[in-house]
Amino acid sequence: MQKNRPPQSSPIFTDTINEQKLQIETVSDKVVNMLKKKGHEVSQEQAATGIFLLVQKGACLKSIDPNFKVILNPQDLTQKEVSLSVAQLLEAFKKCGLAGKLRQFARKYATDIANLSEAYNVPGILLLKYKKIHFTDEETLETEKSNFPEDKAHWMSDFQFNNPDCPREVQLLESAAKAIALSNSSKMSKKAGKKPSRPGKQKNTGK
């Protein structure tokens, strides 16, 4: 006799559920409640702003310090300083059933994150990398050295690559970065593929 097994969710159904959960309101509410349990009062707007800025500053990076944090109430001098760390943000995502979905969240809200970051004057984490490429690879970029798009720095994040709202100047920088990475990889492969030449056998000159 066959045991009744619960129906398995299809990938499409699961993606739909995740998309419904993957809302800034859902995550920011969870952050507000988590902080409230620790005796901190913040608004949903403050939590949402902190989440976006934390993502802009590199929360998606695997190498980021989990203790890295942003202040949620920098303008409110009447309250004790309240912060949100990367670890707390990841915990909030996990509690929302969104473990491992931070980068997907960043891509979904990429334009909103860029716009908020412009208002707060927070550049993307790729700014220095793009500057280095720009000032050493002018030919690839087809632009003048003096025209580095500093005013587009808030778009220079690794989750903006496929965002149609991302300015062309930034897309050119990313294209140049990929071209250089591909070229370097090719050079390394060729170098690794070269076999060291064997020294010729020495003739025995002994009498």
Encode pLDDT of 158-173 as tens digits: 999 899 999 999 998 9
- CA–CA gap between residue 41 and residue 73 (Å, rounded): 10
Q: Is residue 3's pLDDT more than 70?
A: no
pLDDT of residue 121: 96
pLDDT of residue 122: 97
Of the pLDDT bands very low, low, confident and very high (cuts 50, 70, 90), residue 113 is very high
Of the pLDDT bands very low, low, confident and very high (cuts 50, 70, 90), residue 181 is confident
Of the pLDDT bands very low, low, confident and very high (cuts 50, 70, 90), residue 14 is very low
pLDDT of residue 9: 46
pLDDT of residue 135: 77
Mean pLDDT estimate for the chain: 83
pLDDT of residue 26: 96
Tell me how far the alpha carbon of residue 158 is from its chain's centroid: 5
Share of the chain above pLDDT 70, in %: 73
- CA–CA gap between residue 164 and residue 127 (Å, rounded): 19
Tokens of 164: 């149609």
- Classify each residue of 144-182 as buried b or exposed e, where b means 16 or more C-beta atoms within 10 Å of its C-beta: eeeebbeebbbbbbbbbbebeebbebbbbbbebbeeeee
Average pLDDT over residues 36-53: 95
Measured over the CA atoms of residue 39, residue 43, residue 44 and residue 49, the dihedral's sign is negative
pLDDT of residue 18: 59
Kindly report the pTM of this predicted structure: 0.77
Q: What confidence tens digit (pLDDT) does each residue in 54-84 have?
A: 999 999 999 999 999 999 987 766 778 999 9
pLDDT of residue 133: 83
Q: Is residue 202's pLDDT more than 70?
A: no
- CA–CA gap between residue 70 and residue 48 (Å, rounded): 12
Of the pLDDT bands very low, low, confident and very high (cuts 50, 70, 90), residue 109 is very high
Q: What confidence tens digit (pLDDT) does each residue in 128-146 have?
A: 999 988 877 555 455 555 5
Which residues does residue 84 pair with via DSSP β-bridges, in sequence order?
70
Nearest to 56 by CA among 6, 102, 10: 102
CB 110 within 8 A of CB 164: no
Which residues does residue 69 pair with via DSSP β-bridges, in sequence order?
85
